[in-house]
Amino acid sequence: MTETPKQRVWGRWVVLAAFILGLFLFTGFFGIGLGIKVVMPPVVLPPEALTEPIQTPLGPFFLSGSLVALLFADILIFILAFFISSAVKKGNLILTGIIGAVEALLEMLHGMTEGTAGKWTKAIFPWFATITLIVMIANWTEMIPGVETIGKLEKSAHGEFAVQQVGPIQSIVKAEEGKGEYLLIPYVRVVSTDLNFTVALALVAVVMIQVFGIRSQGGAYFSKFWNTGTVFSKPIFGVIDFGVGLLEIVSEFSKVLSFAFRLFGNIFAGSVLLFVIGSLVPVFAQSIFYLLEFFVGAIQAFVFGLLAMTFMAQATQGHGGEHHEEAHA
């Protein structure tokens, strides 16, 4: 006689408790709730400073909410790596739970890298996996309650909020025109909505593309950008090849913009969507869009990493002219 496994029902109770808490905080449920007025948090592009800026040779440095989110994502990746490493060292052949899902993801990414990069898989795969994991976790932080909505209030001449004291909670309300004097500086901001992060990550990816190209082909890699070998022997085709090389230079710079703004635009738009829905219907309705943002965050991380891996693999291969000469030989 087999024993029927116990069903895990604690998740249902967590959802029910969160729903009741939302009713209590925001709707004044049965007249006993706090009735906090929900307003849309400020939507700004530059990162807000949590500390006074420190002057450095590279410019002012300050702690921002996006930097806090990045540190959180880094720590979480190190924790996952530690548990996966410990499980493997203990001889566990089958990993379960979150670390099992991470293992399955890494196996899938490794298989894709092996099919694209060939003998360069060992060198390119760590970059592919790291970029995908860091971007995915960074994107998913927007679904954590309190991100971009809990922070410090700062007086400002251009403030647009007033303070409302509801029991032990100090919240902001939309002030009347000309009477707002506070700004909300969030403690944690989704790092993917900060252009500093997306541009920096794009620069890392594009620089490593050039590194792998030089490692695999040496100085011949630069003929991709400056091809003058046939200018005198075949003037017409030589000029065309030279022009294509200049376009390749433009293409490399455009990759930075493409990488950075694709990720930034999608995640920033998702955060604004959650803000708007949360300010209109603060209870339950947001959960529908959470699932959407979960998939958007995962897809954008996968696309970013996949493009970086594909470009790295392409950089290790010879150019069209070299293949043409090999075919004649």
Model confidence pLDDT, tens digit, residues 183-200: 888 888 999 998 989 999
Evaluate whether residue 13 is within a structural domain: no
| Domain extent for 296 | 40-49+60-150+187-328
Tens-digit pLDDT profile for residues 135-147: 999 999 988 878 8
Evaluate whether residue 288 is within a structural domain: yes
Evaluate whether residue 204 is within a structural domain: yes
**144: DSSP letter:** S
Distance CA 206, CA 308 (A): 8
Distance CA 165, CA 141 (A): 28
Structure tokens at 30: 């049965």
Evaluate whether residue 30 is within a structural domain: no
pLDDT of residue 35: 62
Evaluate whether residue 201 is within a structural domain: yes
pLDDT of residue 321: 46
The mean predicted confidence, pLDDT, of the chain is 80
The proportion of the chain whose per-residue pLDDT surpasses 70, expressed as a percent, equals: 79
- Span 16-22, mean pLDDT? 73
Evaluate whether residue 228 is within a structural domain: yes
Tens-digit pLDDT profile for residues 46-94: 888 888 888 888 777 888 888 999 999 999 989 988 888 888 787 777 7
Residue type at 230?
T
| SS3 (DSSP) at 161 | strand
Q: Which of 10-24, 141-155, 161-175, 224-238 has the highest mean pLDDT?
A: 141-155
**271: DSSP letter:** H
Comparing CA positions, the residue from 283, 83, 314 lying closest to residue 210 is 314
How many domains does the chain fold into? 1
Evaluate whether residue 220 is within a structural domain: yes
Q: Which of 17-31, 74-88, 171-185, 273-287 has the highest mean pLDDT?
A: 74-88
Distance CA 300, CA 290 (A): 15
pLDDT of residue 257: 92
Reported confidence tier of residue 112, pLDDT bands at 50, 70, 90: very high
Whether 325 shows a pLDDT value over 50: the answer reads no
Count of all residues that appear for the chain in the document: 329
pLDDT of residue 6: 54
Q: Is 307 or 283 the better-scoring residue by pLDDT?
A: 307
Evaluate whether residue 295 is within a structural domain: yes
pTM of the entire predicted model: 0.81
**284: DSSP letter:** S
CB 49 within 8 A of CB 63: yes
Q: Is 204 or 324 the better-scoring residue by pLDDT?
A: 204
pLDDT of residue 327: 37
Distance CA 132, CA 269 (A): 20
- Span 157-186, mean pLDDT? 72
pLDDT of residue 80: 87
- Span 17-22, mean pLDDT? 72
Tens-digit pLDDT profile for residues 225-259: 776 666 666 666 667 766 777 788 888 889 999 99
- Span 154-176, mean pLDDT? 73
